[in-house]
C-alpha cells in the first residue's frame, strides 16, 4: 500500500511569519482549520489544493548557508511562476533575498526565505 504525503514541514524561528511569506509568493490559506494539526505559536500551516506546508518553531534555528556543504540545504522548494518580475518583487518585499541571480542562463534563480531556506523561482525573466 503506498503512503500518502500529508505535509512538508520546514523548521524555522517564527512559524506564522514563514507561512505568510510563502502565502504571499504562492497563495494558499494560512492556518486553515484541519484536524490533523494543532496550529499555535509553535506550528503554522499553509494549505494549497492537495498540498500542505507546515512550519515548526525550532529554538536556536540555524539556517543553511547556500551553497556551503558545511551547512547543507537538506532540501529546497521550486516554484514555477508566470510573472517572474512580480514574483521576484514579492519575495524581496516579504523578507526573502536573492542568493544566485542565474547569470549562467539556467532558467532559475535561487532565493532564501526569511528563515534562510533556499528555494528557486523558475520561469522566463
Write down the domain spans for the chain.
8-57, 77-122
What is d(CA 12, CA 25) in angstroms, rounded to the nearest whole number? 17
Which residue, among 76, 53, 5, has the nearest Cα to 43 in the 3D structure?
Answer: 53
Question: Can you name the residues that pair with 108 across neighbouring β-strands?
Answer: 122
Cell triple for 100: 544566485
Band of pLDDT at residue 101, cut at 50, 70 and 90: confident
Q: Report the pLDDT averaged over residues 45-73.
A: 89
% the chain with pLDDT above 70 = 96
- CATH fold of 8-57: 3.30.720
pLDDT of residue 25: 97
Distance CA 112, CA 18 (A): 11
Q: If you average pLDDT over residues 65-90, what whole number do you get? A: 87
- Which parts of the chain fold into alpha helices (H)? 15-26, 84-93
Average pLDDT of span 53-76: 87
pTM of the predicted model as reported, rounded to 2 decimal places: 0.85
Asked if the 77-122 domain carries CATH number 3.10.180.10, the reply is: yes
Amino acid at each position: 500500500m503506498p503512503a500518502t504525503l500529508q505535509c512538508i514541514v520546514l523548521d524555522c524561528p517564527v512559524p506564522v511569519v514563514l507561512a505568510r511569506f510563502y502565502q504571499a509568493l504562492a497563495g494558499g490559506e494560512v492556518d486553515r482549520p484541519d484536524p490533523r494539526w494543532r496550529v499555535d505559536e509553535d506550528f503554522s500551516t499553509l494549505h494549497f489544493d492537495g498540498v500542505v506546508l507546515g512550519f515548526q518553531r525550532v529554538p536556536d534555528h540555524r539556517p543553511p548557508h547556500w551553497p556551503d556543504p558545511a551547512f547543507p540545504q537538506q532540501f529546497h522548494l521550486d516554484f514555477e511562476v508566470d510573472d517572474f518580475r512580480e514574483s521576484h518583487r514579492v519575495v524581496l518585499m516579504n523578507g526573502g533575498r536573492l542568493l544566485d541571480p542565474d547569470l549562467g542562463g539556467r532558467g532559475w534563480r535561487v532565493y532564501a526565505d526569511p528563515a534562510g531556506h533556499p528555494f528557486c523561482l523558475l520561469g522566463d525573466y
